[in-house]
Amino acid sequence: MRNICMIVSYDGTNYSGFQTQPDGNAIQDYLEKAIEMLTGEKVKIHASGRTDAGVHAVGQVFHFHTESQIPAERWGLALNSRLPKDIMVTEARDVPLDFHSRRSAKRKTYRYTINANQYPDLFRRNTELHHYGKLNVEAMAEGLRHLIGTHDFTSFASRHSTKPSHIRTVYDAHIDRDQSMCRPGTRDQGLIHIYITGNGFLQHMVRIIVGTLLEVGKGRKKPEDIATILEAKDRMKAGPTAESKGLMLWNVEYENFDAKY
């Protein structure tokens, strides 16, 4: 018996999330079907975490047990020929039998992208939230820093969260800007990439954080309000949940390797 760990990228636009669904249209469903087509085995894969419908990944990790003797370096090409074009395995490796994609993970990073130019990018419209309107990016970055550390993130969790504890640790949270596509003489602000790295994330946590930061960027909330919202432990105090399409699972870190773009 082998334990195979893989890294998969996907455009989540047309899927109902990562975790298997009754409609059979989740990323997991297609991966398991492709593995069965290749090996004849019905396997259950385990991922580093769920992503919601419409959310993307460049560094999602999953593992499964198999008796197949296919060499690790051949799995990617073999599976990609059996997968939809918007799902792609980029790495495969043998790992110890006790390795678990979720439980063995040390840190995860999500990236949320806001296109703050006047016009949306036609070719990246499914992976960016378009927001035309002046945003105070410096205030957003200041507010974001209040989330670093170990906190109860109830205010930034879905009301449907079933986790017994909402305490999570955020190791890093920062904003990078890409202004390479800004047109001279316009109010274009470029791409705003929000990166958040933590030991785990609650349902909708990053999207609620982004929705609240947008309130700060518009001047409806102050940067220091983020700390007050965090302390309130009340979902009603935070901003709206940002659209799923701007969110991407960027990186998962383990003891001996990272799964990153």
Q: Which residues are annotated as a binding site for substrate?
A: 110
- Pull the structure tokens for residue 45: 């894969």
* pLDDT averaged per 10 residues, the chain (length 261): 97 96 94 97 96 96 97 96 98 95 96 96 96 96 98 96 93 96 92 97 97 98 98 97 98 79 47
Q: What is the pLDDT of residue 255?
A: 86
Q: What is the pLDDT of residue 75?
A: 97
Q: Which 8-state DSSP code applies to residue 228?
A: H
The string of DSSP letters for 10-64 reads: E-GGGSS-SS--TTS-SHHHHHHHHHHHHHS-----EES----TT-EEEEEEEEE
Q: Which residues are annotated as a binding site?
A: 110
pTM above threshold 0.85: yes
Q: Which residue has the tokens 């469903």?
A: 29
Q: What is the pLDDT of residue 260?
A: 56
**Residues across the chain:** 261
Q: What is the pLDDT of residue 259?
A: 60
Q: What is the pLDDT of residue 162?
A: 84
- Pull the structure tokens for residue 171: 């190791």
Q: Which of 11, 29, 52, 225 is catalytic?
A: 52
98 is catalytic: no
Q: What is the pLDDT of residue 261?
A: 47
- Pull the structure tokens for residue 86: 């918007």
User: How would you label 216-255 residue by residue, b for 16+ Cβ within 10 Å and e otherwise?
Assistant: bbbeebebebbeebbeeeebebbbebbbbbbbbbbbbbbe
Sequence-distant (≥ 6) Cβ neighbours of residue 44 within 8 angstroms: 32, 64
